[in-house]
Amino acid sequence: MNKSRDGAGTRRWVVKIGSSLITNNGTGLDRDAIEKWVRQLVSLQQGGIEVVLVSSGAVAEGVKRLGLKKRPREIHLQQAAAAVGQMGLIQAYESCFQQYGVHTAQVLLTHDDLSNRRRYLNARSTLAGLVGMQVVPVINENDTVATAELCFGDNDTLGALVANLLGADTLIILTDQQGLHEADPRTQADAPLIAEAMAEDSRLLAMAGGSGSLGRGGMITKITAARLAARSGARTIIASGREPDVLVRLAQGESIGTRLLPEKQPMAARKQWLAGHLKAKGQLVIDAGAVTVLRESGRSLLPVGVSAVNGQFDRGEMVVCVDESGQEIARGLVNYDSREASQILRQSSRQIEGILGYVGDAEMIHRDNLVLTE
C-alpha cells in the first residue's frame, strides 16, 4: 500500500457525501449506506482524525416522506421537503453514530452565516468546540430559509467553505465518479485518471467541462470547491464513494481518486490571507511582555497583555497590534468588540466572566488568527 501525504498524520477532515451515495435513486434515504459511512467515519475518528460531515439528502428524504412523485420544481416546495427530510436525515445519522457511542450535532448553514464576519466567527467557535469534544457535526445547507440569492448551490461549495472555516487540512468529496479524468470517461472509456494536480491549475476547468458548463458528472463544482479549499491551504480529494471502505483506505495512505493540492500549507496560507486581504478596523496596544510572547513563542494574545484599545471594531474584525511606541507587531481577528476589549484589558482570562457577565474566549486574539508583521 502506498503512503502519501493524504494518509496518516492529517488532523482534521471535512467529508462531503453526495445524495447519490446515501439515497435510493434520489428518493428516500438508504439506511444501509448511511450505516456504512458512519462506520468509516468513526474509524477515522478513532484513528485520531477530527471529522466534520457535510451531507446532502434532506430533500430526497422529504420527497419520500411527503409522498411526492418527484422532486418539486417550486422553491418553496423544495424548502418544505427539505424541512421534513432534514428530520429523517439527522435521525438516521444520529441512530447510527449512537451505536458506536459517538455524539452528533446538526448544523444548518446559509451563505450569510459564512459571509458575515461575526456569524462566521461564531460558527467557527461552535464547530471547533464540537470537534474538540469528539462530536461529529453533520452539516447541511439550511434549505428551509435559504433563498436563491443565498444558496451555496451545491454541497461541494459548502464543504469547501467549511474547510476554510475550520482550517481543515483535507476536504474529501465523495461522488459516483472515480475522480477527475483528462476527458469524459462516459464517452472516452480509456481517459486517464488525474491522480494529482495543483488545485489552481487552469487546465482542470477545461478537463472538467469548461467554466460555462455544469461539468461532467458535476465535476466542475468539485474543481471550484477545491480551489476554494486551497485558499486556506486545504488539499481536496475527489474519489468514488462506490469504492469499498474508501475513507478508511484514504486514511491509511492509499492513493484513490484525484488529489488537488494547495500551493501552501494550511497555516502559511491562512497567515498570508490574514496579512494581506483584510482591512484593519482598530488597534490594540500591547506591552513589552506580550511583544516577547508573540515574537518568541508564537502564542495567542491574552487580555492581560493589552494596555490600550484604539478605534471601534466588532468581534471577528481585523485589528493591528502595536507596541507602546506605536510600531506594528502583529495583526489578527479579535475575539471581542472594542467596548468589551476595553473592559478586559490588563485582566487575567479567568476574570473575563466576572467583568463581562459571560464566558468568552480566553484569548483576545487566538494564535491561529494572528500573524506577525515582518
CB-based contact 176:21 (threshold 8 Å): yes
Q: Average the pLDDT over 350-355 and give the result.
A: 95
The domains of the chain are located at 12-269, 278-372
150 has pLDDT over 60: no
**279 is annotated as contributing to ligand binding:** no
| Residue 186 three-state SS | coil
CA angle 25, 27, 33 (to 5 degrees): 65
Q: What is the pLDDT of residue 184?
A: 74
More confidently predicted of 171 and 70: 171
Q: What is the pLDDT of residue 205?
A: 79
**125 is annotated as contributing to ligand binding:** no
**56 is annotated as contributing to ligand binding:** yes
Q: What is the pLDDT of residue 213?
A: 34
Q: Which residues touch 74 (CB under 8 Å, ≥6 apart)?
A: none
What confidence tens digit (pLDDT) does each residue in 230-268 have? 988 999 999 999 999 999 999 999 999 999 999 877 777
Q: What is the pLDDT of residue 320?
A: 95
Q: What is the pLDDT of residue 283?
A: 97
5 has pLDDT over 50: no
More confidently predicted of 20 and 6: 20
Sign of the dihedral through C-alpha 246, 252, 254, 256: positive
**155 is annotated as contributing to ligand binding:** yes
What homologous superfamily does CATH list for 12-269?
Acetylglutamate kinase-like (3.40.1160.10)
Q: What is the pLDDT of residue 153?
A: 58
195 has pLDDT over 70: yes
Please give the share of the chain, as a percent, with pLDDT higher than 70: 90
41 has pLDDT over 80: yes
CB-based contact 305:313 (threshold 8 Å): no
CATH of domain 278-372: 2.30.130.10
Q: What is the pLDDT of residue 298?
A: 86
152 has pLDDT over 70: no
* Cell, residue 346: 490588563
